[in-house]
Structure 1
Amino acid sequence: MSDRKNEQKNRAAALREAFAARVVVSDGAMGTMLQAQDPTLEDFQQLEGCNEILNVSRPDIVRSVHDAYLAVGTDCIGTNTFNCNFAALGEYDIAHRIFELSEAGARIAREAADASTRNTGQQRWVLGSMGPGTKLPTLGHVDYATLRDAYQQNAEGLLAGGADALIVETTQDLLQTKSSIIGARRALDALGIDVPLVCSVTVETTGTMLLGSEIGAALTALEPLGIDMIGLNCATGPAEMSEHLRHLARHARIPLSCMPNAGLPVLTKDGAHYPLSPSELADAQAEFVRDYGLSLVGGCCGTTPEHLRQVVERVRGLTPSAREPRPEPGASSLYSHVPFRQDTSYLAIGERTNANGSKKFREAMLEGRWDDCVEMARDQIREGA
């Protein structure tokens, strides 16, 4: 094994130990910090708004954001690779640069983290950010395999650049989430590397993910895919996340994370303003650690180095409260968790919505007659399935 891969293996092992022993603090918002430095159209290589291009055109700007968060004591920094995926880079016609920009983003963060480790003696880690993109496979915007293979390139680039963990974040569609997790796992297998794989879903103010999935459905669908941690980020502030974290704390077998926005945005004449103060965010995160046993905390939209400085101070010395999760066996639809609980003498499972078992269903599916497919399912429900 190469020295570099050996170092990566040791850092990943140390990160897993830290998750088990204490509260690990990640950084806050990346995009707004980059935009605050007012990069030019030339910096964006004429691809205005494509923050990931800055990894190759202005690595100094990206590095300065990492340094700002490291300076306030965060344990982890996330890479500037949120949009290094097929859908987002495809909108700029540069999807062929997924690996290049992912590797560059991870390398910048790795250099910043290593410099901080040398200067402070505190181990710092790099979380490889894998964002949701702009196309939802459940709605037919793009096919699953295309997303999965592009996410594998994304993950391979992050790992090549020195990421210590991969974080699939801000996910809105369970099928997209699966594509990114499976792509990440394929990358880990292909490179022979074992690092933590974190999944962070986004629950809207409606109480569900964007496509209507409840947190129970997300847990049931995603935990069996071999992720090391599950949690929430984005969309809301901590107050709106509490009940969803409570569900995860009761039922998840794996450690938990939370990276809220600095409250719900308030639209002003100068754009969106996030009202939650640093002390309010820090108090909320400390409360979550005590109540729900979080292992990883941080911030998302609207959070700044000052927010994270106060989070670091408030959770320092805390250990995740002991949890006694009671997993609830069941299956998940796109929308909800269905427990395997029999209220009658037998459990009827409808099987006619099966391309192998029903010629009628198979033909309707192949011909795209989705209403017919749904009606066959409804027939079975009416019959007691």
Structure 2
Amino acid sequence: MSKLAKLQKLMQAKILLLDGAYGTEFQALGLEEKDYHGDRFASHSVPLQGNHDILCITQPNVVKNVHSSFLEVGSDIICTNTFNANAVSQADYDLQDICGEMNTVAAKIAREAADQHSCNDRPRFVAGSIGPTNRTASLSPDVNQPGYRNITFAELVSAYQDAMQGLVNGGADLFLIETIFDTLNAKAAIYAANQINEKLDDPLPIMISGTITDASGRTLSGQTCEAFLYSIEHANPLISVGLNCALGAEQLRPYVAEMSRLSGAAITVYPNAGLPDAFGEYTQTADVMAATIADYAKNGWLNVIGGCCGTTPKHIAAIAEAIENLKPREVDIGSAPGNLKLSGLEPLSRQEGGLFINVGERTNVTGSARFARLVRENKFDEALSVARQQVENGAQVIDVNMDEGMLDGVEAMRTFLNLIASEPDISRVPIMIDSSKWEIIEAGLRCVQGKAIVNSISLKEGEAQFLEVANKALNYGASMVVMAFDEAGQADSLQRKIEIC
């Protein structure tokens, strides 16, 4: 039985229990700088205290003990101690070159602990933790340069692939892409996971968990729950979606309810132990947190539950007791509404037979002389006003085309879409990336955190080329406009359209 099938079978039988906060446990141990350095990094010149991931190499028994403390109170799934074990985050500690090793060692530690607590009627699983990094792909770190990015999609993919391969080598059962505050980062992680999984006989299921930052109900990069969900559903094989961090269980309640209503996948939730106090401490008791979680389960919202910041084995034990006799949420992939699902910062869905979608096409250099002139003259601020006007006038999707002989189409597409991302009144709607050149389309897909539309692909270059491009677009999570066009030319009759399509 595949890893996916095993987990799905268990999820039908019970609510699965995750673990709690590793950082909370490590901090409680009072570890010092020398403990983080260990023997191997005794001469490392950069301070390492607080870099919990390095403990997998320098203090493996400490990490294993924390895993065991959660397994002993009932965790079905434990997470590897690898939240920041990626080259982007570890560069702060000058440890970016050992991230593959770090992930492999971490997965082996978790695997050993899980196996020691497993039995035939109670298997335990290891989730490879993949954090968001300390960079944002869809936000500029400089308010004076809204189009600037300090990380690229390709750099994120490379860092995530290195980490994920390590997790696979160490024996992880699934990938957990978690604490997502920027969906474009998550899409890079999904892209990496899909690439890794393509090479495996038994692909690792993917759990995805976003972070709603405050009462606005949005991620840090501005997406609503529904828009976020539409943006990440292309992960394959996707076993669950959910929310963690930033908020306590009570504050997360409306968003968990919404995600449970919208998603066809299983639902995973692991809130903080309430909200931090004035000293940054989490003081919500285990019983109080467990009571709210029990209410989640009684409402039929849960398939997997655990804890994030501030949650200890005591919290997980209380949650285990609270949900023991409660049924899991029924998972029905066909239940999610809308056949067409798109997103910018906000969602757009259409059932078959629904109304037309208004596409604004004035941000197209082949269709608007004014827009083409503004782009050629590098007047992107004025070009943005064209997009804004279209949205204000009712466009539900913005079509962006940079196919013009005098332009560097890749750079123009990247620049304009990065600027659009900084304008929430524009980026709230989905983007249609319009080009006859795949390299321009791909540049655009690497800039858009929502679920975009590729316009267009066809069989003009043959079936093999069509399938290659379609699979690439799918790995970026895009919808596609497919033209009735093959190697013999454009369809000019109903019969030809049927033959091609």
Instruction: Tell me the TM-score normalized by structure 1.
Output: 0.89
Contact 1:152/1:187, CA 8 A, preserved across alignment: yes
Further displaced range: 290-299 or 57-66: 290-299
| 2:308 aligned partner | 300
| 1:5 aligned partner | none
| 2:245 aligned partner | 234
| 1:209 aligned partner | 219
Change (3 A) 1:193 1:364: farther
| 2:287 aligned partner | 279
1:150 aligns with 2:150: no
Q: How far 1:121 moved relative to its partner?
A: 6.0
Change (3 A) 1:369 1:264: farther
Provide the aligned C-alpha RMSD in A.
2.6
Which residues of 2 match residues 120-139 of structure 1 at below 5 A?
122-139=122-139
| 1:222 aligned partner | 232
Letter in 1 for 2:263: A
Change (3 A) 1:364 1:73: farther
Match of 1:327 among 329, 337, 341: 337
Q: Deviations over 1:6-35 (max 9, x none)?
A: xxx655532221123210001000011112
1:26 aligns with 2:35: no
Contact 1:213/1:336, CA 8 A, preserved across alignment: yes
Change (3 A) 1:369 1:288: farther
1:249 aligns with 2:260: yes
Contact 2:206/2:240, CA 8 A, preserved across alignment: yes
Contact 2:341/2:347, CA 8 A, preserved across alignment: yes
Aligned partners of 2:376, 2:200: CA distance in 1, in Å? 37
Change (3 A) 1:306 1:182: same
Change (3 A) 1:289 1:369: farther
The SS at the match of 1:247 is: helix
| 2:350 aligned partner | 340
Aligned partners of 1:36, 1:210: CA distance in 2, in Å? 29
Aligned partners of 2:28, 2:347: CA distance in 1, in Å? 42
Contact 1:251/1:326, CA 8 A, preserved across alignment: yes
Match of 2:7 among 15, 23, 30: 15
| 1:86 aligned partner | 87
Q: How far 1:112 moved relative to its partner?
A: 0.4
| 1:162 aligned partner | 171
| 1:4 aligned partner | none
Q: How far 1:376 moved relative to its partner?
A: 2.0
Between the two proteins, the alignment pairs up a number of residues equal to: 373
Instruction: Tell me the TM-score normalized by structure 2.
Output: 0.69
Aligned partners of 1:38, 1:255: CA distance in 2, in Å? 37
Letter in 2 for 1:225: A
Contact 1:246/1:292, CA 8 A, preserved across alignment: no
| 1:55 aligned partner | 56
Q: How far 1:362 moved relative to its partner?
A: 7.0
Structure 1's unaligned 5+ residue stretches are 1-8
The SS at the match of 1:61 is: helix
Letter in 1 for 2:35: D
Letter in 2 for 1:27: D
Q: How far 1:382 moved relative to its partner?
A: 4.7
Change (3 A) 1:193 1:321: closer
The structure having more radius of gyration, on CA atoms, is 2
Further displaced range: 372-381 or 242-251: 372-381
Match of 1:178 among 167, 181, 187: 187
Q: How far 1:369 moved relative to its partner?
A: 4.7
Letter in 1 for 2:269: C
Contact 1:290/1:321, CA 8 A, preserved across alignment: no
Contact 1:55/1:101, CA 8 A, preserved across alignment: yes
Q: How far 1:51 moved relative to its partner?
A: 0.9
Change (3 A) 1:363 1:146: farther
Letter in 1 for 2:311: T
User: Per residue, is there more helix in 1 or in 2?
Assistant: 1
Letter in 2 for 1:144: F
| 1:353 aligned partner | 363
Change (3 A) 1:215 1:366: farther
Letter in 2 for 1:214: T
Letter in 2 for 1:128: G
Change (3 A) 1:137 1:370: farther
Letter in 1 for 2:326: L
